[in-house]
């Protein structure tokens, strides 16, 4: 379990959900993980404690994405944390995971320009500039993994604006994969289906039973189901995969 020893990783939005599970899995493989979060410091601290309890290494970085100066603030904290622990600022693995969704029940007719801008600022603009800012820190053979959504392949009108942002993040994957291939850096998208992120809806058995029907396996995904896919893409074994859309939806897209 040390496929990522001596590697460093940033997982945006790893205080909770899929990001937390990803941070845990990367750390379990030996990576030093920057646990990024926006506001939920207690949850980020819990992620770090879970990692350390298992013998891994992690540190927290707070930065709200989607506001002016967001990526600069993120990288100030990230570089400081890396320097303190490794003596340098090499960043081997970037996981663009943090995102916001359209609030439940908002119809396409009711999406406001402000809400639209916020979705794009957090889910598309921030990941683009995170990749751009990470380029000088990424060594040859580095890894960029962008978390998309099965909703770029399946229509859900309530989430049209959110899904548009995920279409955008897949474009980051496509074009940076070509741009960074000469350096052996791979760039891939991972698309979860409905995944238990610990949110309140997953405490309602009827809702979970209904959501489970969407997967070919007839269960909702667990965060670690997605984290394992991301972790594989971060390893040397995944060196021949780049520019890919990886369906990690438990067969939801089979229809
Ligand atoms: P959660 O909602 O459980 O967690 C979101 C994480 O992102 C938290 O760590 C949160 O930090 C952080 N975050 C949210 N907004 C901001 C912001 N403005 N600035 C910085 N950090 C922020 O996420 P999920 O685990 O559900 O989703 C993870 C990824 O998977 C997302 O990209 C999502 O779109 C995608 N996805 C999820 C699916 C699902 O069913 N769960 C399905 C398909 C795709 P804090 O704790 O501080 O608020």
In a domain, 214, yes or no: yes
Whether residue 156 is predicted with pLDDT greater than 80 in this model: the reply is: yes
Residue ID of nearest Cα to ligand 1 atom 9 = 13
Phi-psi region of 51 (alpha: psi -120 to 50; beta: other; left: phi over 0): alpha
Taking only the tens place, the pLDDT of each residue in 3-47 is: 999 999 999 999 999 999 999 999 999 999 999 999 999 999 999
**Nearest-5° angle of CA 10, CA 12, CA 17?**
120
In a domain, 41, yes or no: yes
In a domain, 1, yes or no: no
**Nearest-5° angle of CA 242, CA 71, CA 196?**
60
Distance, in Å, from the CA atom of 80 to the CA atom of 63, rounded to the nearest integer, reads: 13
Kindly report the backbone phi and psi dihedral angles of residue 197, in degrees, each rounded to the nearest multiple of 5, phi listed first: -105, 15
C-beta of 222 in contact with ligand 1 (< 6 A):
no
Q: Which residues are catalytic?
A: 162
Domains contained in the chain, number: 1
Residue ID of nearest Cα to ligand 1 atom 21 = 38
Q: 235: CA distance to ligand 1 center in Å?
A: 23
Residue ID of nearest Cα to ligand 1 atom 46 = 40
In a domain, 238, yes or no: yes
In a domain, 211, yes or no: yes
In a domain, 24, yes or no: yes
In a domain, 3, yes or no: no
In a domain, 246, yes or no: yes
Distance, in Å, from the CA atom of 138 to the CA atom of 133, rounded to the nearest integer, reads: 10
- Residue 164 maps to which CATH number? 3.40.50.720
pTM (whole model) above 0.95:
yes
C-beta of 125 in contact with ligand 1 (< 6 A):
no
Taking only the tens place, the pLDDT of each residue in 72-124 is: 999 999 999 999 999 999 999 999 999 999 888 899 999 999 999 999 999 99
C-beta of 38 in contact with ligand 1 (< 6 A):
yes
> What domain range is 147 assigned to?
8-254
């Amino acid at each position: 379990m040390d496929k990522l020893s001596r590697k460093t990783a940033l997982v945006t939005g790893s205080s909770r959900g899929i990001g937390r599970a990803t941070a845990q899995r990367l750390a379990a493989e030996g990576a030093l993980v920057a646990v990024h979060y926006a506001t939920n410091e207690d949850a980020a601290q819990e992620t770090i404690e879970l990692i350390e309890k298992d013998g891994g290494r992690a540190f927290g970085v707070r930065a709200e994405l989607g506001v002016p100066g967001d990526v600069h603030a993120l990288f100030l904290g990230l570089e400081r944390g890396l320097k303190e622990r490794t003596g340098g600022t090499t960043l081997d693995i970037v996981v663009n995971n943090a995102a916001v969704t359209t609030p439940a029940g908002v119809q396409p007719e009711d999406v406001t320009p402000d809400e639209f801008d916020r979705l794009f600022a957090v889910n598309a603009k921030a990941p683009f500039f995170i990749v751009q800012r990470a380029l000088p820190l990424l060594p040859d053979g580095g890894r960029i993994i962008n978390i998309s959504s099965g909703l770029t392949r399946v229509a859900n009108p309530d989430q049209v604006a959110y899904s548009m942002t995920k279409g955008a993040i897949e474009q980051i994957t496509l074009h940076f994969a070509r741009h960074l291939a000469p350096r052996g850096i791979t760039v891939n998208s991972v698309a979860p289906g409905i995944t238990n992120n610990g949110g309140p809806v997953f405490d309602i058995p009827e809702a979970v039973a209904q959501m489970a029907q969407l997967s070919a396996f007839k269960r909702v995904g667990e965060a670690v189901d997605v984290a394992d896919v991301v972790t594989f893409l971060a390893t040397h074994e995944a060196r021949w995969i780049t520019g890919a859309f990886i369906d990690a939806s438990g067969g939801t897209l089979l229809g």
